[in-house]
């Protein structure tokens, strides 16, 4: 299995530009998470999808951030317009959730390192 | 109070030492607990789940104390390769069909020769 795939791995852009991050979850997984990690704030959950439906987006910082999951094998996180404070590592993670009540393992992608100048 | 709290460290220990980390959580409804390991500039990876009765995986032992609402990770005979950040993860029970995991900020471990 290829694991969770994210692209691009690095992104440098100028303030005001649109940034699109992409994620391909592990095949068969039905839950997908977008996280942001910084030294100051640690790992923050931005949004969580289950069966392609956004379940909790309370972590999305503001309207500049949007996420979509058009199908089970693809998700995007878009920042428009980007700002320097958006600089961080953005991780996508996927897992298989069932109703057994047993916590499932999250598998993380390698992350996208975003620098907004 | 933060939902999940960890001592950021760093814990600086010599090879062969035994080191332990704790992680406290505030949600008493939490049902699933995990330790993840994150190497520098890498993604977090599952180290081990934490079961109610405690569990061991080689040099690593995880324990859960529900009464005091904390989990612990013990590493025996530390290796240089154990140097990393250890993140604890807490999840409530999935009674509603969906639930959100909460990550701690992580504890940094540095093992030196």
Residue pLDDT, tens place only, A77-99: 999 999 999 999 999 999 987 76
* CA-based nearest distance A14→chain B, Å: 23
Set of chain B residues whose Cβ sits within 8 Å of the Cβ of A35: 103
Q: What is the pLDDT of residue B1?
A: 60
The encoded tokens of residue A86 equal 């958006």
The pLDDT of residue B63 is: 95
Tokens of B57: 């995986």
Tell the residue number behind the tokens 């992580």, with chain if given. B106
Q: How many whole angstroms separate alpha carbon A14 and alpha carbon B48?
A: 40
Lowest mean pLDDT among A16-20, A75-79, A99-103, B26-30: A99-103
- φ, ψ of residue B82 to 5 degrees: the values are -80, -10
Which of B33, B46, B103 minimises the CB distance to A105? B46
In chain A, count H helices and then E strands.
Answer: 0, 11
Q: What are the residues whose beta carbons fall under 8 Å from the beta carbon of A62, sequence distance 6 or more?
A: none
B45: which chain A residues are within 8 Å (Cβ-Cβ)? 108
CA nearest to A33, candidates B91, B57, B59 = B91
Residue-wise pLDDT tens digits, B42-82 = 999 999 989 888 899 999 999 999 999 999 999 999 999 99
**B106 vs A42, A45, A103: nearest CB:** A42
Distance from CA of A99 to the nearest CA of B (A): 6
């Amino acid at each position: 299995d290829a694991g969770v795939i994210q692209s691009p791995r690095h992104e440098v852009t100028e303030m005001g530009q649109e940034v699109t991050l992409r994620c391909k979850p592990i095949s068969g997984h039905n839950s997908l998470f977008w996280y942001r990690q910084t030294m100051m704030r640690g790992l923050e959950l931005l949004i969580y999808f289950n069966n392609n439906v956004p379940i909790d987006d309370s972590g999305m910082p503001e309207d500049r951030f949007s996420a979509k999951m058009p199908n089970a094998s693809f998700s995007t996180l878009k920042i428009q317009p980007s700002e320097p404070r958006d600089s961080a590592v953005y991780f996508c993670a996927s897992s298989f959730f069932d109703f057994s009540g047993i916590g499932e393992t999250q598998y993380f992608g390698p992350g996208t390192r975003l620098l907004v100048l | 109070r933060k939902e999940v709290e960890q001592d950021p460290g760093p814990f600086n220990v010599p090879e062969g030492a035994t080191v332990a980390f704790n992680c406290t959580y505030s949600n008493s409804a939490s049902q699933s607990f995990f330790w993840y390991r994150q190497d520098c500039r890498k993604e977090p990876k599952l180290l081990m789940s934490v079961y109610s009765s405690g569990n061991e995986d080689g040099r690593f032992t995880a324990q859960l104390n529900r009464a005091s609402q904390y989990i612990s990770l013990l590493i025996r005979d530390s290796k240089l390769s154990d140097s990393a950040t250890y993140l604890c993860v807490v999840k409530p029970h999935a009674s509603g069909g969906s639930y959100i995991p909460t990550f701690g900020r992580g504890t940094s471990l540095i093992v030196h020769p």
